[in-house]
Amino acid sequence: MTNTVPHLRSRMMIPIGLGFLILCVLGIILTYHLQQRLVNNATADRINSASRLFYQFLNLEAENLEIKSTNYLYDPALQAAFLAGDRATLLQNALPAFKRIKARYDITHFYFHLPDGTCFLRVHDPDRHSDIIYRDTMIQAQSTGAPAHGIELGPLGTFTLRAVTPWFSEGKLIGYIELGKEIDQLAPKLHNTLGVEFIFAINKKNLDRTLWEEGMRAMGTTGNWELYPYHIIATSTLPDHPELLKPILNEHKDFHQNTFFDLTDSKQTLRAGCLPLRDAGGNDVGEMIIASDFTSFAINRKMFIILIVVTTILISTIYLGIYLYIGWQEGKINDYHAKLSAEIDEHKKTGQELIRHRDQLDQLVTERTAELEKALAEVKVLSGFLPICASCKNIRNDDGSWEQIESYISHHSDMVFSHGYCPNCAKEIYADFRKT
């Protein structure tokens, strides 16, 4: 007998399981991408907001530098020493003012330049002078005759906010006064104000390694040029930025504005993005990485993933139990069906055997019937009620006519009659004959 037991596991449970698995996978993927998109959008908004506030903050700081520069434009002692070309006297008069503004306003650079852009005095570094300044802020001030400001990349890989103000005496340009503030001094203020982390990564192609290493030694800092393959970190508000940034800066040479990534350690998770870092001339010199604390979101996302995994395991366990239970029931049904099939097959064999015996009996009966019919055809039997005439002893046959008894018996049997006289009849018939 053909096994026609329905396989519920293969026909129902497997498709249901596959459908559930596909739905779970699609749900997890869609949920993850939706969350990722929301996070990226939130990160992009925060980065753009931080970038706008950053440049607004720089403009305010630059305006403050320009305002402070005007305080020295009209100082007669400074003007007299500068016009006289007396560098020592100029340094002596400017140094106290520089110390005050450095302590109060974190101003780190104070220059006096000649009209052709030659540096006459660096108050913050008096031993270096007489070099021509080719910075964009200086070129803008020379070309426009108006104050110019912007961030400039120095040979040490540091960013400095610079404000260059033309210096006039009796309507004649006599030089320029320049004040500068390191971004190192601005980054903590930005961090405290905006609540985000700032990392300024400078592309190495814009620096001279020898000058950079000499500058690091002069500043008492042990910079590691080989820490990252393509960048050096000029400024960072992250205390542990070297290890946090390694996976990103080791992988990327150039960043795009829509590049987002996670900075993760055992304490926190930061969601970061990049913006091009441009100097006062609009040149891309590196990347400004802005990172926000997404630790709570990362924890919630991890808990969500754990919940999804636990739920999936629980449902899968229930499904597996149902699957095994149905398999066990199918096994019992299959065993019962196998027994029933065996019995049916046995009954079929018995029926076929009975049919075979019946056919044999029918054949035997047919043969015997034929033999009997043949025998009956050869044998004629007289039986039943015979009407005999009481006088002449004739017999009435089937068609109602009368015939002699020997004729009737001859027609209904194979008997042959011979005629003669019995002694009594002979005496009676031949009595007269004897007398004669």
Domains along the sequence of the chain with CATH: 11-293 (3.30.450.20), 395-435 (no CATH)
Q: What would the mean pLDDT of 9-34 be, rounded to a whole number?
A: 78
Mean predicted confidence (pLDDT) in 65-87:
92
Using the Cα atoms of residue 203, residue 205, residue 207 and residue 209 in order, give the sign of their dihedral.
Answer: positive
State the first-to-last Cα distance of the chain, in angstroms, to the nearest integer.
Answer: 102
| Torsions phi, psi for 46 (to 5 deg) | -65, -40
3-state secondary structure the chain: CCCCCCCHHHHHHHHHHHHHHHHHHHHHHHHHHHHHHHHHHHHHHHHHHHHHHHHHHHHHHHHHHHHHHHHHHCCHHHHHHHHHCCHHHHHHHHHHHHHHHHHHHCCCEEEEECCCCEEEEECCCCCCCCCECCCHHHHHHHHHCCCEEEEEECCCCCEEEEEEEEEEECCEEEEEEEEEEEHHHHHHHHHHHHCCEEEEEEEHHHCCHHHHHHHHHHCCCCCCCCCCCCEEEEEECCCCHHHHHHHHHCCCCCCCCCCEEEEECCCCEEEEEEEEEECCCCCEEEEEEEEEECHHHHHHHHHHHHHHHHHHHHHHHHHHHHHHHHHHHHHHHHHHHHHHHHHHHHHHHHHHHHHHHHHHHHHHHHHHHHHHHHHHHHCCCCCCCCCECCCCCCEECCCCCEECHHHHHHHHCCCCCCCCCCHHHHHHHCHHHHHC
* Residue 126 burial class via C-beta count within 10 angstroms: exposed 0-12, middle 13-18, buried 19 and up: middle
Burial of 262 (0-12, 13-18, 19+ CB in 10 A): middle
Is residue 166 over pLDDT 80? yes
Q: How far is CA 173 from CA 60, 67, 73, 224, 295, in A?
A: 26, 18, 11, 44, 56
Q: What is the mean pLDDT of the chain?
A: 82
pLDDT at 212: 84
pLDDT in tens, 314-372: 888 887 887 787 778 777 877 887 888 888 888 888 888 888 888 888 888 888 888 77
Contacts 24+ apart (CB under 8 A), 331-340: 333/5, 334/3, 334/5, 337/3, 337/5, 338/3
Please check whether residue 192 is in contact with residue 57, taking contact to mean a CB–CB distance below 8 angstroms. no
Q: Quick one: how far is CA 174 from the chain centroid?
A: 67
Does 373 have pLDDT greater than 90? Answer: no
Q: What is the pLDDT of residues 100-156, one digit of tens each?
A: 999 998 898 999 999 999 999 999 999 989 999 999 999 999 999 999 999 998 777
Angle among Cα 390, 391, 396 to the nearest 5 degrees reads 60
Looking up tokens 């001030």 gives 141
The mean pLDDT of 283-302, rounded to a whole number, is: 82
Tell me how far apart the alpha carbons of residues 394 and 407 are, in angstroms, rounded to a whole number: 9
Q: pTM for this one?
A: 0.62
Contact present, 289 and 312 (Cβ < 8 Å): no
Q: Which residues are registered as beta bridge partners of 292? A: 271
pLDDT tens track for 409-430: 777 766 677 777 777 777 777 7
What is the pLDDT, as a whole number, of residue 93? 94
